[in-house]
């Protein structure tokens, strides 16, 4: 679940105000009995979790005492996952959720935080808790239980309410003298400066004017490494990302973009460094790909089956096809779990963190990006436009030939996207139109694969005549989509190849 809260700094003279003004019409504020909470935080010896904004703790008295908190990139908003388990023995599932942060290093207790909490719930008229405001007096304890530090803070956490309510609560608190502070978790404050140091995973930092080619490469690598490792715990949780994309899809895209960037920027990165990294990313992308393919096919099955309400299909037969895909998906997800628990994956994560910190660049990477990068992008562009690409594409060519052009188009699009910061508006236009080309070619490929899949699944059930008929009708609809995408392709390609979008390419 997502936890969204705001923190406020207060001193010992602060008096929590009446929060009734923030409640909706008919609502009320309910005071809860004081609580004493003792939380024991685990981390690596060099505080990798805390420096990344994450936490793994055990808190006495909670129904689910073990909790992992993961940053989302938005201050004050974190993923919170809680599980049962005895003190001193963190659940393996939670330890795995922070694999990309601890990278196999041992976890041990690093901080004990004792909090005396006075909580107030802001409720709707029907009693629904919309927000919770807590006044926390915090003590940091050493191994012997002695106090080594103390502070006080107020938190406003969103429950069933909206952000406007959180804003009204904040107004009341600020009027009473609370100061909106930076979002710093309690255990980070307790651990001090070492917990506020830079995280191991260096985030994208933006580019200066007229960057070097190497700076653009570094920024591209950091962006995709961050995408991959951020989605690692969400893949393990079988969660979803904002916008509906699955974490498996996002992680696979990161693998593909990283491999593509290392290929495009080949003259700028050291071969003996990039090649093994690309090989390992290919392995991970392949593992993720099987689950993603099943996911896409299941979604497509539902959409294709209901695409024509005037010509309904046998939905029981559709359900049996979906059951077969669901089994395939479960096997693929189990393979992902096994891969993410492997020493091979841990080694890849370590390599990616190092890659984001300092990619191994060649001397040529020191040259100006605006001069060097267009020449590198021109290679995949020529491959896409040449006789082995679109120029040699017969409208009646087999599906595999169209798929090969799709892969060349994806490589070109990734290359153009990677150099956007250095090239600017013309590259942005080309990236947008290439995205539309990819939409057409992607829909073509998905339909072609789906048509073949429906027939293969039916062949696995030779005695199920309803499935055979339904699969045949589904395949006809998919082949119709293939024909429509082939007809739509020339216009999409024409828009992508306008001179004003490609004039920057040598």
Q: What is the pLDDT of residues 329-343, one digit of tens each?
A: 999 999 999 999 999
Mean pLDDT, rounded, for 213-232? 96
Banded model confidence at residue 371, pLDDT cuts 50, 70, 90:
very high
Mean pLDDT, rounded, for 275-284? 98
Q: How far apart are CA 388 and CA 323, in angstroms?
A: 39
pLDDT digits (tens, 9 = 90+) for 399-444: 999 999 999 999 999 999 999 888 888 889 999 999 999 999 999 9
Tokens of 201: 């995973």
Banded model confidence at residue 240, pLDDT cuts 50, 70, 90:
low
Beta strands in 87-243 (DSSP E): 108-123, 129-141, 147-158, 179-180
The predicted structure's pLDDT at residue 243: 46
Mean pLDDT, rounded, for 105-115? 96
pLDDT of 241 over the 70 cut: no
pLDDT of 221 over the 60 cut: yes
DSSP line for 189-229: HHHGGGGGSPPSSPPP----SS-BHHHHHHHHHHHHHHHHH
Residue with tokens 């609370």: 178
In the chain, the percentage of residues whose pLDDT exceeds 90 is: 91
The predicted structure's pLDDT at residue 425: 84
What is the tally of helices (H) and strands (E) in the chain?
Answer: 16, 10
The predicted structure's pLDDT at residue 218: 96
The predicted structure's pLDDT at residue 449: 98
pLDDT of 242 over the 70 cut: no
Tokens of 275: 């090649």
pLDDT digits (tens, 9 = 90+) for 348-361: 999 999 999 999 99
pLDDT of 161 over the 50 cut: yes
Mean pLDDT, rounded, for 243-257? 88
Rg (CA), the chain: 27
pLDDT digits (tens, 9 = 90+) for 374-388: 999 999 999 999 999
pLDDT digits (tens, 9 = 90+) for 47-97: 999 999 999 999 998 999 999 999 988 888 999 999 999 998 999 999 999
Q: How far apart are CA 170 and CA 163, in angstroms?
A: 10
Tokens of 380: 């995949």
Counting every residue, how long is the chain?
Answer: 506
pLDDT digits (tens, 9 = 90+) for 4-57: 999 999 999 999 999 999 999 999 999 999 999 999 999 999 999 999 999 999
The overall average pLDDT reported for the chain is 94
């Amino acid at each position: 679940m997502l936890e969204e809260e705001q923190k406020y700094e207060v001193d010992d003279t602060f008096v929590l105000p009446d929060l009734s003004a923030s409640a909706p019409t008919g609502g009320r504020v309910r005071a809860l009995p004081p609580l004493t909470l003792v939380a024991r935080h685990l981390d690596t010896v060099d505080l990798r979790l805390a420096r990344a904004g994450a936490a793994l703790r055990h808190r006495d008295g909670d129904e689910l005492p073990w909790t992992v908190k993961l940053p989302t990139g938005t201050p004050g908003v974190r993923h919170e996952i809680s599980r049962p388990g005895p003190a001193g023995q963190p659940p393996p599932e939670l330890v795995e959720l922070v694999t990309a942060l601890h990278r196999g290093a041992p976890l041990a207790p690093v901080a004990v935080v004792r909090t005396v909490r006075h909580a107030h719930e802001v409720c709707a008229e029907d009693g629904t808790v919309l927000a919770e405001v807590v006044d926390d007096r915090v003590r940091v304890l050493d191994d012997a239980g002695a106090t080594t530090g103390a502070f006080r803070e107020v938190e406003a956490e969103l429950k069933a309410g909206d952000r406007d309510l959180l804003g009204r609560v904040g107004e009341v608190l600020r009027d009473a003298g609370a100061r909106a502070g930076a979002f710093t978790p309690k255990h980070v404050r307790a651990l001090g400066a070492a917990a506020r140091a830079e995280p191991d995973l260096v985030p994208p930092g933006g580019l200066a004017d007229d960057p070097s080619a190497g700076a653009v490469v570094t920024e591209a690598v950091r962006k995709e490494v961050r995408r991959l490792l951020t989605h690692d715990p969400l893949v393990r949780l079988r969660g979803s990302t904002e916008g509906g994309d699955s974490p498996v899809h996002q992680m696979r895209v990161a693998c593909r973009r990283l491999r593509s960037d290392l290929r495009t920027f080949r003259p700028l990165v050291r071969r003996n460094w990039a090649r093994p990294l690309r090989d390992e990313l290919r392995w991970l992308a392949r593992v993720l790909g099987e689950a993603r393919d099943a996911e896409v096919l299941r979604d497509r099955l539902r959409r294709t089956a209901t695409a024509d309400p005037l010509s309904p299909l046998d939905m029981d037969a559709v359900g049996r096809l979906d059951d077969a895909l669901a089994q395939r998906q479960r096997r693929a997800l189990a393979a992902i779990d096994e891969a993410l628990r492997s020493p091979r994956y841990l080694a890849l994560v370590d390599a990616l963190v190092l890659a984001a910190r300092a990619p191994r660049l060649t001397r040529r990477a020191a040259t100006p990006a605006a001069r060097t990068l267009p020449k590198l992008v021109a290679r995949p562009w020529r491959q896409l436009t040449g006789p082995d690409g679109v120029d040699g594409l017969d409208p009646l060519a087999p599906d595999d030939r169209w798929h090969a052009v799709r892969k060349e188009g994806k490589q070109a699009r990734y290359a153009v996207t990677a150099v956007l910061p250095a090239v600017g508006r013309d590259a942005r236009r080309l990236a947008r139109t290439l995205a539309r080309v990819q939409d057409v070619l992607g829909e073509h490929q998905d339909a072609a694969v789906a048509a073949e899949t429906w027939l293969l699944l039916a062949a696995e059930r030779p005695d199920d005549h309803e499935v055979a008929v339904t699969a045949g009708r589904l395949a006809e609809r998919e082949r119709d989509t293939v024909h429509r995408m082939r007809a739509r392709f020339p216009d999409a390609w024409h828009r992508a190849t306008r001179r004003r979008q490609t004039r920057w390419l040598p």
